[in-house]
Each structure stands twice: as C-alpha cells, then as structure tokens.
A and B are shown apart, each in its own frame.
Chain A
Amino acid sequence: MSSGQATARTASGVKVPPPSLLARALPAFSGTTGLVIKLVLLAVVNAIGLWALVALLADESWIAALCVLAATLAIDAVYLLPVRGLIPLKFLVPATVFLIGFQLIPIIYNASVAFSNWSTGHNLTKEEAIQTIEEASLAQPANGAFYTMTPARDESGNLTLLLVEEGSGKTFAGNEDGLEPLAASDVTVANGAITGAEGYHVLQGDELAGIDEQLATLVVPAGGKTFVRAEGLSTALELQPTLRYDPTRDTFTNIETGVVYSDNGNGAYADPQGQEIDQGWRTGVGFANFKDVFTNPLVRDPFVSAFAWTFTYALLSVVFTFFAGLFLAIALNHPGLRFQRFQRSVLILPYAIPAFLSLLVWRGLLNDDFGVINNILPVDVPWLFDPFWARVSCLLVNFWLGIPYMFLICTGALQSIPGEMTEAARVDGASSLQVFRKLTLPLLLVAVAPLLIASFAFNFNNFNAIYFLTQGGPYGEHQSVAGATDLLVSYTYKVAFQTGRGGDYGLAAALSILIFLIIGTISAITFIRTKALESMA
C-alpha cells in the first residue's frame, strides 16, 4: 500500500519513512471529522432504539420497552458525558451489544422454547386460540341462505349489506339490528346483485377500501343462533357457531351435542375422552421435553444411537484428518522437494471447492449401482444403502474434505518450530522418530490443540456433510426418526420438522440445549488438558 507513496523529505533533507496506514487513518477519527462520525453513528443507534421503543410500546411490551430505553440512554451517556471513568466502557459497549444480540438473546430464546410445548397445533397465544376455535366452529346451517351482497350505507351512515338471496331472488337489507326485507320496487338489480336501493348509498371503488374491517366483522342477526356475515366484497351467507365459549368456566361447549371441552393443562381444550380441539396454544411445560429425551423410548433410542455415531464421527474425523494432514505437511515441508508450491496447491483444492458441491459429486460417485467407484473399481460395495458402509462413506468423504484444512494449519505450525531445536536434538543423538515424538509433536499440539477442539465441535454439528450425502439414511429396520448416519444435529432438525404432527420445536430446542451441553463439556475438559500440555512444553 505505502510503496506507491512518494517518500517524504523533511526540510533538512533527511528521509523519513511514510507513516503507516493506521497512523494516517487515526487523525481522521479525532477532531471535527471524528466528532461528526461519532455523532452520526450515535444518532443511528438512537434512531434504532427509538424505533424499537415505539414498536414495543405499540405492542404493550412494557418491560422490553423499558430495557431498550435504559440501554439507549446508557449508550448515549457513555459516549457523550465527559467523564474519564467511562473511557473503558467506550470500548466495551459495542462488543457487549453484539454479545447480547447475537449470543445471549438466541440462547435465552432457545431455552424459553425448550420449556414450552411449541409445536404444530400449539402455535398461538391462548386468546388467539380461543378466537381461532370460535371462527373455525362456524358452519353453514342446513339449507342456510347464501346471498349476493352489495355494501352500502343507510341514511344515518350505518354500514348495511344489501342482499339478494341465491335461488329465491328475495332482497334484504341487513345491519347490526337484523335482516329487513326490501321491496322489489325499491331496488335496482343487475347481474343478480343490487346496484341501487331507495334510501341507501351503494359503496363503490375507493369507498370500499376504508370499510374492510367493519365489513368483515359486521354480524347481522338472522334469528336463533344464526347470523349473516359478508364473505369477501360481493357475497354473504348465513352461519351458525357449533362451539360456544364460556369465559367464566374457560370451556367450550358443543351446542348440538353438549360435549364440554376444557383446558387440559397442555395448551389445548379437550373433551372428557381426551380428544383435543385442533387449535391449541403455546404454554410452559417445565422439564417435560428434557424428560422425554431420557424416558420416552421414541426420543431416547434415536438420540442415543445418533449420539454414539456423532461422537465416533467427530472423533475419527478429527484424529484421522489431523494425522493425515500432519503427515502431508511434514512430507511437503522437506526442503529438497520439487514443485513444492504446486503440490501444496493441489492438496488444498478440496478445501477451495464449496463443500456442498463436492458432497453432491461424492453422492453421485458413491451411488451403489450407477456410481463411478463401483463401476470402475473391481468392488461392489453398498456405499450409501447399507448402514455400516454409509457410515464409512460419510467418514471417507469427510476425511477428503477435512485433510486440506489440517494440512494448512500443520504447515503453518511447523514453520513456527525453530529449526535450531530439532537440530540440537539431532546433535544430541535423537533419532528422527524421537525428535518427532518428543519435540515436534508436543510443540505442534500447543499451537493446534485449540483448533482441533474447534474442529471436533464443527464436525459434531456438521449438518451439511450428512444431509447432502445421505440425508441421514439409510434407515435400518428398527430406526425411525434418526437414520444410520444422522448426527445429533440432523436428528434434531428432523424432530423439529418431520415428526408427530409436523414439528416439535419445544423438543428440538431441548435437544439443541443438550447438544450444547455435550460439546461445551467436551471442549472444556480438552481445553483444561491443553493447558497442562502448554505448561509441559
């Protein structure tokens, strides 16, 4: 960057090197320019805060609104108040905001889902559910009337439905008070619909736009339990409820059969036989989802088998790719090697191709009957359709994908081991193997151990590598939700979207928390042991 700059000369003629980019950039952030940048950024933060505040107040989420207000004011205070003690906070606040936004909130949200029954049929609040059930219970009575409808206003401006009954052709005017017959002489009918009526103003064009809500909710009593309601802008029909909600007892009663549906404590109304009404609501269920994972064989068995495979998969992937990568790195690190750069580039290629592409290619190559591998090699291995071989395939492909990465980091780490040390060891009479085992490997591990842990965690959750290759299949005879190659994470995905009535987010969230705990524990233990390694070195 600075090579293009002319070298500055002082008055005395002494050459001074041009200042670094950072040094030149810093002044831009102080003085007036800096102040303006700061104020603009701060104003953006304030505007976002204000927007959130307005939205939250409109939603009547008082506590959240208060938090947003406090946070926004605090940020303003940190950057505007000229207090020395606040200077460290200026650096901490952005990091904290991102930590809360991208880490804490998702974790808290996930945890709140894990303790709920959120799933298909339990997606609403209780109030919404009651409304939805009432709406879904409306039915057309036997021989119920159907009308062609024209929205209009009467002389005092009340919304009125001008109706022509289908079949009989009788005309009515309906409003909140009820249906009233209209004399045929008072109305003009064209194409089966009223286009004008004595004493009424027919609404047209733009006038229709404003009345939508009124029109949709206008209920015209039509005798007994039935009423007439608009369906769209040009039809109306007679409806009657089949379920009646009793707010004092919090029950639904079937008007015809008298069956009572009461709150069953699991976010649904159920009859005495336990038959639930389709629409339920989200509610807390305590540790039920976690209990399910350990006690319900339907959840537990796939979980246990997926866990065993996931652990094996991640461990073997890391161990094998690390040693293969290390071997290649050492081999290619040899000083006398020809075409060293070319060979290194070729090895890195699998890492440079998007993984999902190479996974799909591998799926084609490995196909049992049509794949290149079985057709060219003198073998007939059921690569993808036998549970055991499918696991082998997943591992092999993952090795292929992972070795370049390990090769890269090992090459880097090898460069950082001072040559003098190995040379000294040689002089002291150590064999190549001894040098590698006692010197190179421990020094290398200090540098790469954290990356190995990260790689383990990555492979533990390597959704793509499984989903694009086998989709978790094949399924053994006694396997249900999780197939032979399903990792915990793809099993969780299937629980969330493909089981029961089409999705159990509560259970899936509980599973993802368990996965987090497992990886967290394994990582923590390994990190502690790495510390020991470091002190040894």
Chain B
Amino acid sequence: MLSTKTAARTLVALVVASLAAIAMSATASGASATTITIWTDKDRLAAVTKVANAWAASKGATVQVVQKDFGQIRDNLKTVQTETAPDVIVGAHDWIGELSANGSIVPLFPSTATKKQFPAYALDAFSYGTAIKKLYGAPVALENIALVTNTKLAKVPTTWAQLQASALATKKKTKAAVGISVQQGSGGDAYHMYPLFSGLGGYIFGKNSAGNLDPSNIGLANPKFLKNAALIDQWNKLGLIRSSVDSSISQDLFLKGKTAFWFTGPWNLDTLKKSGLSFRISPFPAIVKGTKAVPFLGVQGFMVTKFAAAHNVESLAKDLVSSYMMQSGPQLELALANGRFPANLTAAKQVKDPQLKAFGAASAGGVPMPNIPQMNSVWGDLGAAWVRSTKGAGSIPAKRSFIGASRSIAQKIG
C-alpha cells in the first residue's frame, strides 16, 4: 500500500515536471522573430497570401495569414493579447481614426515618389490626427457604388429627370412597389443613400482651416440640403424610393426585372454577370443643378499594428506595407484577385475589365467616408432620417427628419 503511494507520488512528480516543461517551451517559443502575422477577411485571403508570400521569399521571412470576419479585424484588435496579435492588418480607411486614437496602429512614411503614385484622396483617407495628420495605412483598393441600369428596361440616364421618368415607367409596368433598388431596411443604410444625400447638397462633416474634418460642423441640415429636401417627400409620394427595400429585396427586384435601376457596388459584379441581364454601370446623374450626386468612397489598405514592435518585426512589417504593397505590381495583382479597383495610379491604368473601370469612373468626385471616430455617431441617425421620411404613408417631412437627426448627432458627439 505504501509502495503504491510512493510510486504515485513519483508519478505525479514526473508527469508534472514533463507537462511543465512542455508548457514552458510553449511560452518561450511564442512568435518566431521572422514571421509576420496578417489578419484579413475571407474575400482577400488567397490574394493577400499570394502577394505577401512573394514578398516574404525575398526577405527570408515567413507569412502567416489569418482569416477574420472583416468587422472583427477592427474589434478584435482592441482586445487581442500580444502573443496572438497581428503585425499587419488589411482593413478599411474609415477605421483609422479609432485605431490610431487607440494606439493600435503606427504611422507610416513612404517616399514622396511612392506617394505620387496615388490619388490624393486615397492617401488623405488613410491620414488622421487632430493636431498633426499622419498616414496610417497603405491604400491598395478602392470601392464605391454606382448606378446600374437594366438596359432592356431603360436607357442609361444622363439626367435625373430621365432616371426618374424611366424608374416610374418601369414601376408602373411591373407593378413593383418601388422605382429604384436602393437598400435601406428598418435600421437604415446611410452608405447606399449617400448619392441621393450628396446630390441634394448634404454633407456629413465640414473641413476646418487646416483641412481636417471638423466634427462640430455637421452638414445634415445645411440650408442648401434643407431647401432641396422637399424632393425627398416627393420621391416618397411617387414611390421612387422606399425604406422597406432592404439589401436582399433591392437585389431581388433588380435581378427579376421589376426595377430598372440598382445602386450597388463591385461586390455584386459576379451576381450581375451571372444573372444574364443586359446592364450598364454609370455615374449618378446630378439631381439638382450645380450639385454632383456622388457616392461614398471606401479605400482598403494595409496597416502596421503596434504589436509588430513587440514581436520584433516592425522593420519587416513596414517594409511589406509602406514599400512593397504600395508598388503597382502587387497592387494590381491584389485588386484584381479581389475584384476591386487598385489605388495605385499606374496599376489602375492597367485594369482591363470594362465593368470595374466603369465603377472607377463613377467614383469621380466621390467623398471618402469620414475616418474620424465621431463618424460612429452618424451612421445610425443619418440612416434613420431617411427611413422616417421614405416609409410611404405616415412619413415625416424630410426637412424635419434631417434636422432632428442633425441635432441628435451633435448631442452624441458632445
């Protein structure tokens, strides 16, 4: 009996010692000094892996690409532990205000020659700082929505009057409840409504004397927009747009030929091509004289996180992001593999796909989504203002609705 116990004790000591040794070695090994960890989403995974591996081979480094849900990349970065944290993330430009205020990403300094290869707004979209503006990411791809016309049902409109007339004629013919496929839903969708918002003279944040977005200058209820706001009530009465159209309904209506126009982006190009419809992609026509109706611009890019320094790969990571990824070759490869327009101007010239080029053309004059963190207070209220005024019977006049939203946003920003 005693011998069993002694044996047991010895066994415990042995097992504990060995497991402890395993545990210690696991802690010690951690991240190897020459591995760069990249977080990206499912759509871009294959392309990023390919492009990053081509770079790593020449540097004697290895790349570990981790797939994350797009929005999770931003959220997880706030709470991730250093051991499992990424050195580089692929994300959207409108994250950088929040990420840099949180100290999660580091400024980049590409050469002037490199910066010259990019449109000014793409670099500006990735720059943030209330006192000194800094570049926090390498832009790689651009995306925006455009006007998609079903050419069997309507001519590509060059004026708003044409668009409205065709939309209403189709609506009458197909007995659809709405004339244009533009998505909202009960939560609202300020992004897809932006061409209409900007076309009526609305803006989100004005700029201060230093050229920075000014969160105290909110343009939801600026006089010009309010003057034109009656048009929204008119559209609502005519059934041109409806808040009950959500993303799946807007797609369904257009693909089934119930509506002649769809406001959508390059992410639906495959769906459009597979549908067999004859369609054209074009810029939005101006709604009121002298004001362009433009979409929001989204810029995707690579960013270096604060964790790169802790992992001793900061120079490597910066080499990947601010030198390699900004070149035209990798940009073209990455953008095309993902069905987006590359940010690098030289690469952009080499895009052959006519549809992708058409989306690029529709971006002219577009406004990058504000990247200041206060934008988080805007999305919900701006979307809700549209919903309140375009829900058919029982809608609130647009003027009142947008003034209310503007006040609410101002309060939330404080």
Q: Which residue of A132, A166, A386, A477 is within 8 Å of B111 (Cβ)?
A: A166
Q: Which residues of A contact B29 (CB under 8 A)?
A: none
Between A209, A232, A235, the greatest number of chain B beta carbons within 10 A of the residue's beta carbon is seen for A232
Contacts known (A121-B101, A367-B244, A368-B244); A477 close to B373, Cβ less than 8 A = no
Q: Which residue of B20, B75, B312 is within 8 Å of A46 (Cβ)?
A: B20
Docked Cα-Cα span, A136 to B102, in Å, equals 12
- Contact between A208 and B242 (Cβ–Cβ < 8 Å)? no
Q: From residue B385, how far is it (CB to closest CB) to chain A in Å?
A: 8
Query: Which of B44-52, B127-135, B150-158, B265-273 contacts its partner?
Result: B127-135
- Contact between A43 and B27 (Cβ–Cβ < 8 Å)? no
Docked Cα-Cα span, A368 to B387, in Å, equals 12
- Contact between B244 and A55 (Cβ–Cβ < 8 Å)? no
Q: Does A116 contact B (CB under 8 A)?
A: no
Docked Cα-Cα span, A380 to B316, in Å, equals 62
Residues of B9-30 at the interface with A, using a CB-CB cut-off of 8 Å, are 9, 11-12, 15-16, 19-20, 22-24, 26-27
Q: Which residue of A55, A209, A497 is within 8 Å of B60 (Cβ)?
A: A209
Interface SS of B by simple majority: helix
Q: Which residue of A132, A137, A146, A500 is within 8 Å of B377 (Cβ)?
A: A500
- Contact between B408 and A480 (Cβ–Cβ < 8 Å)? yes
Q: From residue B257, how far is it (CB to closest CB) to chain A in Å?
A: 16
Contacts known (A50-B20, A208-B59); A233 close to B316, Cβ less than 8 A = yes
Q: Which residues of A contact B20 (CB under 8 A)?
A: 46-47, 50-51
Docked Cα-Cα span, A298 to B377, in Å, equals 13
Q: Which residue of B97, B132, B187 is within 8 Å of A471 (Cβ)?
A: B187
Q: Does A39 contact B (CB under 8 A)?
A: yes
Q: Which residues of B contact A370 (CB under 8 A)?
A: 177, 244-245, 249
Query: Which of A212-220, A330-338, A408-416, A514-522 contacts its partner?
Result: A212-220
- Contact between B129 and A385 (Cβ–Cβ < 8 Å)? no
Docked Cα-Cα span, A384 to B377, in Å, equals 23
Residues of B316-362 at the interface with A, using a CB-CB cut-off of 8 Å, are 316, 318-323
- Contact between B380 and A46 (Cβ–Cβ < 8 Å)? no
Q: Which residues of A contact B8 (CB under 8 A)?
A: 35, 39
Q: Which residues of B contact A369 (CB under 8 A)?
A: 177-178, 242, 244-245, 392
Docked Cα-Cα span, A47 to B21, in Å, equals 9
Q: Which residue of A47, A136, A385 is within 8 Å of B391 (Cβ)?
A: A385
Q: Which residue of B130, B132, B388 is within 8 Å of A474 (Cβ)?
A: B388
Number of residues on chain B facing chain A (CB within 8 A): 92
Docked Cα-Cα span, A230 to B132, in Å, equals 21
Docked Cα-Cα span, A51 to B78, in Å, equals 24
Residues of A55-81 at the interface with B, using a CB-CB cut-off of 8 Å, are 55, 58, 80
- Contact between B178 and A239 (Cβ–Cβ < 8 Å)? no
Contacts known (A47-B16, A54-B27); A474 close to B109, Cβ less than 8 A = no
- Contact between B132 and A137 (Cβ–Cβ < 8 Å)? yes
- Produce 1/0 per residue, A491-512, CB < 8 A to B: 0001001111111000000000
Q: Which residue of B104, B178, B243, B249 is within 8 Å of A385 (Cβ)?
A: B243
Docked Cα-Cα span, A481 to B15, in Å, equals 55
- Produce 1/0 per residue, A344-382, CB < 8 A to B: 000000000000000000001001111000000000101
Q: From residue B31, how far is it (CB to closest CB) to chain A in Å?
A: 12
Q: Does B238 contact A (CB under 8 A)?
A: no
Count: A-B pairs, CB below 8 Å:
254
- Produce 1/0 per residue, A466-481, CB < 8 A to B: 0000111111111111
Q: Which residues of B contact A32 (CB under 8 A)?
A: 4
Between A51, A239, A242, A380, the greatest number of chain B beta carbons within 10 A of the residue's beta carbon is seen for A51
Interface residues on A, range: 35 or more
Contacts known (A135-B106, A474-B384); A210 close to B33, Cβ less than 8 A = yes
- Contact between A128 and B103 (Cβ–Cβ < 8 Å)? yes
- Contact between A44 and B19 (Cβ–Cβ < 8 Å)? yes
Q: Does A124 contact B (CB under 8 A)?
A: yes
- Contact between B314 and A213 (Cβ–Cβ < 8 Å)? yes
Q: Closest A-chain residue to B102, C-beta based?
A: A123
Residues of A31-47 at the interface with B, using a CB-CB cut-off of 8 Å, are 32, 35-36, 39-40, 42-44, 46-47
- Contact between A146 and B111 (Cβ–Cβ < 8 Å)? yes
- Contact between A166 and B113 (Cβ–Cβ < 8 Å)? yes
- Contact between B19 and A500 (Cβ–Cβ < 8 Å)? no
Q: Closest A-chain residue to B112, C-beta based?
A: A146
Q: Which residues of A contact B321 (CB under 8 A)?
A: 232
Q: Does B219 contact A (CB under 8 A)?
A: no
Q: From residue A222, how far is it (CB to closest CB) to chain B in Å?
A: 15
Q: Does B400 contact A (CB under 8 A)?
A: yes
Q: Does A277 contact B (CB under 8 A)?
A: yes
Q: Does B396 contact A (CB under 8 A)?
A: yes
Docked Cα-Cα span, A120 to B412, in Å, equals 14
- Contact between B309 and A473 (Cβ–Cβ < 8 Å)? no
- Contact between A477 and B388 (Cβ–Cβ < 8 Å)? yes
Between A206, A216, A234, A470, the greatest number of chain B beta carbons within 10 A of the residue's beta carbon is seen for A216
Docked Cα-Cα span, A388 to B70, in Å, equals 35
Q: Closest A-chain residue to B390, C-beta based?
A: A385
Docked Cα-Cα span, A461 to B186, in Å, equals 21
B residues near A (Cβ < 8 Å) are: 4, 8-9, 11-12, 15-16, 19-20, 22-24, 26-27, 33-34, 59-61, 75, 78, 97-98, 100-104, 106-113, 128-132, 134, 177-178, 185-188, 242-246, 248-249, 306, 309, 312-316, 318-323, 373-377, 379-381, 384, 387-388, 391-394, 396, 400-401, 404, 408, 411-414
The 10 A-B pairs of least Cβ separation, nearest first, read A232-B319, A47-B19, A471-B187, A501-B373, A502-B376, A51-B23, A475-B384, A43-B15, A132-B103, A232-B318
16 contacts between A and B (CB under 8 A): A54-B24, A136-B107, A146-B112, A215-B315, A216-B318, A231-B318, A275-B130, A369-B392, A390-B186, A472-B187, A473-B186, A474-B384, A475-B387, A479-B384, A479-B408, A480-B381
With A237-B111, A474-B391 known, 18 other A-B pairs at CB within 8 A are A43-B12, A46-B16, A128-B103, A135-B107, A139-B132, A166-B112, A235-B111, A235-B323, A278-B100, A279-B102, A280-B101, A384-B244, A473-B384, A475-B380, A480-B411, A481-B412, A499-B377, A500-B413
